[in-house]
């Protein structure tokens, strides 16, 4: 009965293992999450209780008939598969820190056994149990204790029987190699920093993610706009055909002009069908990003596009040098790279510790139930006569340090180039939009004049046909320019890291000149230099 109860108790405790692991992992994450990294929201894995600010949206819930941009970003944040993988990567990194930390905690152990023996002469039943703990200290000392109890009952023969107990303890303290506190704690230090790096990487990912979702949203809208423009072009050609047909009937235009318009109208119809299919293809791909079933039926909010077309776009007034300095100060991936240089410096220190002479002092004590005991103690020396593996490890650590420094320099230069390119793209798309907007207005004015001249027989329908084609091209170019400007703006904010992702999944941006929040780290990171 006691064995059954023990098994039941073990089963009950197993149900709590997951909850306990979840709580410890998120205690680690929460303790290392600095507010300057971003809002602490939408970072918990799907099978743990959500935090108050987390978005929870069922991927199979009906999508609104018209999906607004904020709602699309919220759905993607809640259901996108890559986003979920990033949350799980953060979670497992924290779990790994918990495992490494356990190596420096008091580790309890206990157990026992029951043994029946029969050699033909004696029949005996023996039971034993032991309990104790192990503990590694920051000084490198390893402490171990054990208490054991043994019970023997000889059923046949003249053997001994009864209880016996023993207490044992051992201590091993390195005095040279292995006694350096930094070297002893290096696995835990690196585990903590890995969690910190992953927190920063997760927040950096959230910024790139929201930019990618909004970018895809506008690309789908652009495809819809292109399809609408092609439909309008087809409708305009149909109206032109009807007017020319009347003029041909009145002998004011040649019949071949009507044939030319009909041929172009059929081509426009074909382009309209293709544009609709392309829009559907882009929309289906966006459903995968949102994490909703591909069979979901909805449209995107065209009002977002129309509002930009009506309101125009502001001209960028950023100073590129200021933007670069802002990006170098705020980019979380660059802060991680800087801290990896410090990791490599610690790696050199730890490797150098392995080159030292090994000198340990150890002692053990064992006491039985009768008060009798034995004590042993003494030093042990490991002379550095053969340190080839340690020598190679030390030299490799120096090489890694040089590599990490180069990696930091390269990332800093890459960020400079990214911001310069994003700035050029932003100014280019803004200028292109202004030029194309003027061209669109001229194309519309030209259509009206050519229609009037055609009615009076001053020009052929070919002039109107060309004007409609130019208007159609101008409308498509405007849609492309507007999408490019929105994407360029988002990329600029992302690359300069002035963007913050809100708990609802959308973003907000601060001024390039606003004070830069100080990034916390286990150690001071090298300050990036401007060039």
Q: Alpha-carbon distance 158 to 138, whole Å?
A: 52
The answer to the question of residue 31 being in a domain is: yes
Q: Is residue 9 part of a domain?
A: no
The Cα–Cα gap between 102 and 111 comes to 20
Cα 475 to Cα 225: distance, rounded to the nearest angstrom: 9
**Residue linked to tokens 């495992």:** 99
Strands 358-368 and 499-501: unpaired
95: pLDDT confidence band, cut at 50, 70 and 90?
Answer: very high
Phi, psi of 41 (to 5 degrees): -155, 155
Reported as a single tens digit per residue, the pLDDT across 424-441 is: 999 999 999 999 989 999
Angle (nearest 5°) at CA 301 between 86 and 38: 30
Give CA–CA dist 309/314, Å, rounded. Answer: 12
Is 521 within a domain? no
Asked whether residue 315 carries a pLDDT value surpassing 90, the answer given is: no
Report the CATH number at residue 454: 1.20.1600.10
Residue 2 lies in a domain: no
Domain assignment of residue 415, yes or no: yes
Whether 56 shows a pLDDT value over 50: the answer reads yes
Tell whether 144 is covered by a domain: no
8 within a domain of the structure (yes/no): no
Q: Is residue 36 part of a domain?
A: yes
Tell me the whole-structure pTM to 2 decimals.
0.87
Dist CA 101 CA 38 (whole Å): 26
Query: For the chain, what is the domain count?
Result: 1
User: Confidence class of residue 160 from pLDDT cuts 50, 70 and 90?
Assistant: low
Residues shown for the chain: 531
- Residue 489: count of CB within 10 angstroms of its CB: 20
Q: Are strands 373-382 and 358-368 parallel, antiparallel or unpaired?
A: antiparallel
Q: Are 248 and 258 in contact (CB under 8 A)?
A: yes
Full residue range of the structural domain in which residue 53 is found: 19-104+185-509
Asked if pLDDT for residue 29 goes beyond 80, the answer is yes
- Give yes or no for a contact between 439 and 471, defined as CB atoms under 8 angstroms apart: no
Of the candidate ranges 384-393, 456-465, 486-495, the one whose mean pLDDT is the lowest: 456-465
Determine the Cα angle at 221 with ends 216 and 226, to 5°: 125
Residue 50 is given by DSSP the state: P
Tokens linked to 157: 């023969």
Contact 148, 165 (CB under 8 A): yes
């Amino acid at each position: 009965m006691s064995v059954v109860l023990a098994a039941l108790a073990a089963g009950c405790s197993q149900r709590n293992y997951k909850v306990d692991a979840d709580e410890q992992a998120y205690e680690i994450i929460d303790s290392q999450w600095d507010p300057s990294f971003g809002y602490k929201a939408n970072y918990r894995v799907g099978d743990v209780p959500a935090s108050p600010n987390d978005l929870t949206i069922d991927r199979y819930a009906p999508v609104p008939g018209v999906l607004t941009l904020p709602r699309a970003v919220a759905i993607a944040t809640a259901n996108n598969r890559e986003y979920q993988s990033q949350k799980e990567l953060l979670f497992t990194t924290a779990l790994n820190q918990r495992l490494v930390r356990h190596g420096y905690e008091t580790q309890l152990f206990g157990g026992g056994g029951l043994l029946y023996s029969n050699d033909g002469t004696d029949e005996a039943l023996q039971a034993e149990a032991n309990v104790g703990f192990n503990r590694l200290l920051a000084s490198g000392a390893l402490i171990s204790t054990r208490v054991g109890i043994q019970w023997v009952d000889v059923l046949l023969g003249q053997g001994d029987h009864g209880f016996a107990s023993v207490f044992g303890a051992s201590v091993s303290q390195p005095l040279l190699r292995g006694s350096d506190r930094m070297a002893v704690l290096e696995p835990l230090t690196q585990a903590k920093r890995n969690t910190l790096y992953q927190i920063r990487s997760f927040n950096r990912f959230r910024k790139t993610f929201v930019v990618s979702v909004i970018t895809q949203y506008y690309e789908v809208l652009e495809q819809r706009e292109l399809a609408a423009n092609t439909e309008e072009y087809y409708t305009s050609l149909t109206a032109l055909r009807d007017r020319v047909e009347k003029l041909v009937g009145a002998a004011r235009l040649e019949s071949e002009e009507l044939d030319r318009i009909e041929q172009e109208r059929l081509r426009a119809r074909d382009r309209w069908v293709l544009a609709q299919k392309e829009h559907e293809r882009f929309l289906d791909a966006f459903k995968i990003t949102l994490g909703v079933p591909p069979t979901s039926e909805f449209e995107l909010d065209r009002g977002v596009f129309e509002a930009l077309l009506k309101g125009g776009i502001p001209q960028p007034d950023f100073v590129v040098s200021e933007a670069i300095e802002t990006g170098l100060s705020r980019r979380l991936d660059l802060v991680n790279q800087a801290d990896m240089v410090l990791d490599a410096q610690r790696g050199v220190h730890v490797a150098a510790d392995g080159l030292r002479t090994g000198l340990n002092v150890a002692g053990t004590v064992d006491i039985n139930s009768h008060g009798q005991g034995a004590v042993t103690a003494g030093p042990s020396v490991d002379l550095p006569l053969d340190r080839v593996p340690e020598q190679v490890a030390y030299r490799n650590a120096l090489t890694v340090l040089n590599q990490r420094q180069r990696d930091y320099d390269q990332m800093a230069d890459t960020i400079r180039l990214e911001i310069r390119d994003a700035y050029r793209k932003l100014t280019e798309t803004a200028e292109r939009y202004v030029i194309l907007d003027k061209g669109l207005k001229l194309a519309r004015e030209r259509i009206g004049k050519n229609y009037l001249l055609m009615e009076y027989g001053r020009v052929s329908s070919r002039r109107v046909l060309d004007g409609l084609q130019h208007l159609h091209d101008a409308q498509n170019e405007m849609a492309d320019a507007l999408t490019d400007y929105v994407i360029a703006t988002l990329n600029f904010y992302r690359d300069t890291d002035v963007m913050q992702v809100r708990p609802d999944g959308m973003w907000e941006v601060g001024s390039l000149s606003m004070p830069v929040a100080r990034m916390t780290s286990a150690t001071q990171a090298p300050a990036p230099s401007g060039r």
